[in-house]
Amino acid sequence: MGIRLVLTDLDDTFLARDKSLPQENLAALDLLVSRDVVFVPCTGRPVAGVPDVLWHHPATRFAVGSNGGVVVDTLTGKTLHRSAMDIDLVCHVYEQVRHLNVTFDVFVPGHVLAERSRYDAMATFGIDEANLNTIRSLREPSDEPMPSRLAAFDGAEKVTLYWGDEASRDEARTVLSSFPEIDVTTSHPRNFEFMASGTSKGSALEWICDTMGCESSDSVAFGDSANDIPMLVAAGDGVAVGNAGPDVKAAANHVCGSCDDAGPGIYLRALLG
């Protein structure tokens, strides 16, 4: 297998559960440089949430954010590819779920918009501290209602709903499933995420392969959650970390060590020798 491209999810995959970067994963990037292999952080975060040490590493050429909603050139900061939902559609979904005990965090270029009351309520949703701190650090809360804030933008890359109770979870799932214009996934036991139909980490992988002039079979991808499955399936070698869920492991070609044990870095070192 001639590897030209490595893509990886960040949270609970390339980053440990405490959000640290295992040293063996960082060392694997140096190995990629020596083998002329391109590295791509491929995250549900906004691209601004990619840690600087990964963004500026010589192995990194692209960054994927919002579950494939945007692809950025890490050398220039230029957006190369964007898949966005119409703002009217996002507002329509919002009106259907606004009464629920959920967040409604909208990823637009350069921002993750949040309503302050929902942002504050998230602290009561039972989200573990490391994830809660990261989520909150990437959002911009405001007292302004979401629809009026969205009026300034021409499209949204992704929306995330964290839910605070099972009744809200179940109703939100029903509402989201009624919109054929969106694809719904999850990256955390207590959230739903939706993007424009056809948008995924897998579609971003295929776009990058087309841009580089290589085949998807030339790629290796790592992930842990449902939003990673399209990427693992599209890659030539889809690898689930040891802490991934059963559905993710079933979709993968291989399983490596856990995120806390530098599973991706150790796997790459063994693969590339």
Please, what sign has the CA dihedral across residues 142, 144, 145, 149?
A: negative
Note whether 105 and 173 are same-domain residues.
yes
Question: Where residue 2 falls among pLDDT bands split at 50, 70, 90?
Answer: confident
Contact call for residues 112 and 46 (beta carbons, < 8 A): yes
Question: Model confidence over 123-150: pLDDT tens digits?
Answer: 999 999 999 999 999 999 999 999 999 9
Output the pLDDT for position 273.
84
Note whether 187 and 120 are same-domain residues.
yes
Where a domain ends, among 196, 231, 247? 196
The total domain count for the chain is 2
Residue 158 has pLDDT above 80, yes or no: yes
Single pTM value for the model: 0.97
Hey, which residues does 159 pair with through a beta bridge?
Answer: 106, 194
Contact call for residues 13 and 19 (beta carbons, < 8 A): no
Where a domain ends, among 156, 177, 196? 196
Note whether 190 and 216 are same-domain residues.
no
Note whether 50 and 114 are same-domain residues.
no
* Average model confidence (pLDDT) across the chain: 97
Note whether 204 and 78 are same-domain residues.
yes
Where a domain ends, among 130, 162, 196? 196
Q: What is the CATH number of the domain that holds 109?
A: 3.30.1240.10
Q: Where are the beta strands (DSSP E) in the chain?
A: 5-8, 38-41, 62-65, 70-73, 79-82, 105-108, 111-115, 140-142, 158-162, 182-185, 191-196, 219-223, 237-240, 254-255
Reading phi first (left if > 0) and then psi (alpha if -120 to 50, else beta), residue 214 is in beta
Q: What is the CATH number of the domain that holds 24?
A: 3.40.50.1000
Note whether 216 and 169 are same-domain residues.
no
Output the pLDDT for position 251.
98
Note whether 38 and 126 are same-domain residues.
no
Residue 1 has pLDDT above 60, yes or no: no
Residue 166 has pLDDT above 60, yes or no: yes
Note whether 186 and 204 are same-domain residues.
no
Note whether 105 and 169 are same-domain residues.
yes
Note whether 20 and 61 are same-domain residues.
yes
Question: Model confidence over 19-77: pLDDT tens digits?
Answer: 999 999 999 999 999 999 999 999 999 999 999 999 999 999 999 999 999 999 999 99
Note whether 99 and 178 are same-domain residues.
yes
Note whether 182 and 108 are same-domain residues.
yes
What's the rounded mean pLDDT across residues 101-107?
98
Q: Which domain holds residue 40?
A: 5-82+199-272
Q: Which residue is associated with the tokens 């909150």? A: 136
